[in-house]
Amino acid sequence: MKVTVSHTLDCSAETFWKRIFFDREYNQALFAGEMKFPSYEVLELKESPERVERKVRVTPPQKGPDIVRKFVKGTMSYDEIGTWTASDGVYRFRTITSTMTEKIKISGAVRVEPAAGGKIVRHADMEIVVDVMLVGGSIEKFLAGEIRSNYDVGAAFTNRWIAERKL
């Protein structure tokens, strides 16, 4: 299942990548604070002018319909492994889930484009594949809804963050 979300953010592309997207304080405030994720941890961060490589471990709130809980036993977390390249300004990532690792695949890309008034539009294009016979599509729909909701919450939070810090 393909999922695309787009949001207008009140900053430049440079501010987004350098002072928001990879900023530890921002991400802690977003995930642990605003979205109430039990855990958000940066495992690796390698930065150079040409690229940024990041690996984070995230534990989202453990919720979902019965069909999801039936297949996901225990606490589910995921590692997001991604690379941003300056040459095209795109962050490409994939996730590795802590359970059902071979059955759930999420990958995607985040990019920005200029918008009027010095703003940007952030686009996140993702593909969700859940290889579970008979119920994979239902799980994909649930995950897509969660992803959309999280990006919506994240966009509102990001614009407040930008305004409060005068970025």
Task: Name the residue ranges covered by the structural domains of the chain.
Answer: 2-165
Question: For the segment 78-109, what is each residue's pLDDT rounded down to a tens digit?
Answer: 999 999 999 999 999 999 999 888 999 999 99
Please give the average per-residue pLDDT across 136-149, as a whole number: 92
Backbone angles phi, psi at 6, to 5 degrees: -135, 140
Residue 134 banded pLDDT, cuts 50, 70, 90: confident
Whether the predicted pLDDT of 71 surpasses 90: no
Q: Which fold has domain 2-165?
A: Alpha-D-Glucose-1,6-Bisphosphate; Chain A, domain 4 (3.30.530)
More confident residue, 29 or 63: 29
pLDDT number for residue 99:
85
- C-alpha distances (whole Å) from 167 to each of 19, 110, 160 are 8, 20, 10
Full-model pTM = 0.92
Element (H, E) at 67: helix 66-71
Mean pLDDT of 113-126: 97
Average pLDDT, the chain: 93
Quick one: which of 134, 143, 135, 109 has its CA closest to 123?
109
Q: Which helix (H) or strand (E) holds 110?
A: strand 104-115
Place of tokens 């299942």: 1
Q: What is the pLDDT of residues 4-51, one digit of tens each?
A: 999 999 999 999 999 999 999 999 999 999 999 999 999 999 999 999
Binned at pLDDT 50, 70 and 90, residue 65 comes out as: low
- Residue 149 has φ and ψ, to the nearest 5°, of -60, -45
